[in-house]
């Protein structure tokens, strides 16, 4: 296992759609193990493969995210391969949503309250589950990454422009 480098906006490959995983081989298993380690090291509650420079449809997420009863439990993550949102309902504001690939910025994002996700697990077994609240937001955020969409694409043009200006200034001074 190894910690991989996390790419940050405006890296072009973050904005590209990722390819479906055709076979779950050693390369994919290593990718998943590395992504889990990279996510907890960052630390974050979700990570998508394009964030570590691999444009394949794989995400990992913190199994305990959004469940305060689980505080203090050992780090555990789940991986989803070729995840898809097959149903969505309701609406919530995800407060101060942030992303490891968008440095020093957070914003409120409108999201579905509930989603139904279909995917393959690490063994290639099909699974389907319903996610609410924080887990629902994580699913939408991470699956967006696989389509080349960042949360800053889901906020107002004004807020996004302010972020781009701030980033441009930071890149100049560094």
Residue of 136, 145, 126, 135 whose CA lies nearest to 57: 145
Binding of Ni ion by 139 (CB under 5 A): no
Interface residue with Ni ion, options 39, 49, 99, 167 (CB under 5 A): 99
Query: Whole-number minimum distance, CB 71 to Ni ion, in Å?
Result: 22
Interaction pattern, residues 4-33, with Ni ion; x per rule: CB under 5 A: ------------------------------
The question of whether 142 is a catalytic residue gets the answer yes
CA pair distance 115, 104, nearest whole angstrom: 28
Whichever of 73 and 103 has its CB closer to Ni ion, that residue is: 103
Q: Verify binding: residue 143, Ni ion, rule CB under 5 A.
A: no
Pick the catalytic residue: 11, 26, 128, 142?
Answer: 142
CA atoms within 13 A on the CB side of 123: 3
Q: Which secondary-structure segment (H or E) carries 165? A: helix 157-173
The reply on whether position 137 binds Ni ion by CB under 5 A is no
Nearest to 122 by CA among 49, 21, 24: 24
Measured from the CB atom, the residue of 52 and 99 that comes closer to Ni ion is 99
Alpha-carbon torsion 23, 28, 32, 35, what sign?
Answer: negative
- Interface positions with Ni ion (CB under 5 A): 99
């Amino acid at each position: 296992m190894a910690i991989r480098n996390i790419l940050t906006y405006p890296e072009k490959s973050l904005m590209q759609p990722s390819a479906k995983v055709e076979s779950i081989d050693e390369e994919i298993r290593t990718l998943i193990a590395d992504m889990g380690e990279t996510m907890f090291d960052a630390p974050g509650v979700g990570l998508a493969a394009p964030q570590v420079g691999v444009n394949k449809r794989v995400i990992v997420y913190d199994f305990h995210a959004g469940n305060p009863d689980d505080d203090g439990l050992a780090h555990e993550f789940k991986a989803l391969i070729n995840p898809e949102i097959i149903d969505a309902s309701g609406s919530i504001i995800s407060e101060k949503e942030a992303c490891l690939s968008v440095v020093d910025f957070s914003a409120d994002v409108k999201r579905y309250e509930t989603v139904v996700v279909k995917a393959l697990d690490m063994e290639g077994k099909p699974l389907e589950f319903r996610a609410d609240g924080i887990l629902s937001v994580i699913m939408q955020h991470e699956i967006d990454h696989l389509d080349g969409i960042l949360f800053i694409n889901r906020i107002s043009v004004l807020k996004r422009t302010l972020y781009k200006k701030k980033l441009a200034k930071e890149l100049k001074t560094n």
